[in-house]
Amino acid sequence: MNAKTEYKQCSHELIGGLIEIVRMAVIDQFPSPRLDVADVSALLDAMHVLRPTLTELNLFDGFVHVVRGEWHDAIALFSTLVSQDRCMPGSRAMLVYCLSASGNSDWKIEAEQLLHQDKLTPEARSLVYAVIARNDMEKAREDAYATGEFNEPESLKRLRDDYASYPIHQRESRTRHDVLGPHSASGAPQETGMQPMETITNSDYSQYLRL
């Protein structure tokens, strides 16, 4: 048996540990990585060699693109996963996020399709609710500057109610059922604690991601 074959036959436990490292590095405090993104990218490259058919790794590649601000590459990757019906509903939720962050109004179409999916997970739904609420908040602030009156968007109330529907222990740390779907091999979204909802910043999205 050659060295290359032995290298690729590493244990599932090792792969699971590496996946958790990558998850913690790029998602736990998303979009601010815990590790140097170049190191995370190098680790992902090695993991693709170890598990070339593990599609969920492509989802992490997408997160690396997001952290680097490579919106075109991130959108292309998540769009491909969606077209292949892979890593759903997480890939579509992240496509919604990326389209919105890059100013592409197509995020509304993707969000509408996602929210009507039968297998929508609570975490994917919450992420999309957060994207909708953030866009509505920006519009509400613009209107407030023009009129002198601020009206809280219904979408923000919906997001707050959605979060409140989780048991307290799940608000602090979501269970292993994530935006990837119930049968994902890569874990589930991290809850970092709800921040004040007067505004929604990029870091608030980390509440809905534990891949």
Domain boundaries of the chain, sorted by first residue: 3-208
Q: Are 123 and 209 in contact (CB under 8 A)?
A: yes
Angle 88-54-9 from CA coordinates, rounded to 5°: 160
Kindly state the percentage of the chain with pLDDT values over 70: 74
Tell me, what's the pLDDT at 79?
Answer: 97
What is the three-class DSSP state of 178? strand
What's the mean pLDDT in 123-130?
A: 91
Helices (H), 105-121: 107-115
- pLDDT band, residue 1 (cuts 50/70/90): very low
Mean per-residue pLDDT of the chain? 78
For residue 167, what pLDDT is reported?
A: 65
Residue with tokens 């209107």: 143
Residue holding tokens 């039968």?
Answer: 118
The mean per-residue pLDDT over the stretch 188-206 comes to 36
pLDDT in tens, 79-111: 999 999 999 999 999 999 999 999 999 999 999
Q: Alpha helix (H) ranges present in 148-196?
A: 154-164, 168-172
* 8-32: pLDDT as tens digits: 677 888 888 888 888 888 887 777 7
Q: Using DSSP, state whether 60 is helix, strand or coil.
A: helix
- Phi and psi for 50 in degrees, rounded to 5? -70, -40
For range 135-151, the mean pLDDT: 93
Q: How far apart, in whole angstroms, are the C-alpha atoms of residue 100 and residue 135? A: 8
**Closest residue by Cα to residue 179 from 90, 82, 85, 88:** 90
The token pair at 169 is: 């222990």
Closest CA to 172 of 197, 189, 152, 187: 189
pTM: 0.75
Q: What is the pLDDT, as a whole number, of residue 10?
A: 76
Which distant-in-sequence residues (6+ apart) come within 8 Å of 123 by Cβ?
A: 93, 174, 177, 178, 179, 188, 189, 208, 209, 210
Query: Cβ-count burial of 103 within 10 angstroms (0-12 exposed, 13-18 middle, 19+ buried)?
Result: exposed
pLDDT of 73 > 90? The answer is yes
pLDDT digits (tens, 9 = 90+) for 29-58: 777 788 889 999 999 999 999 888 888 899
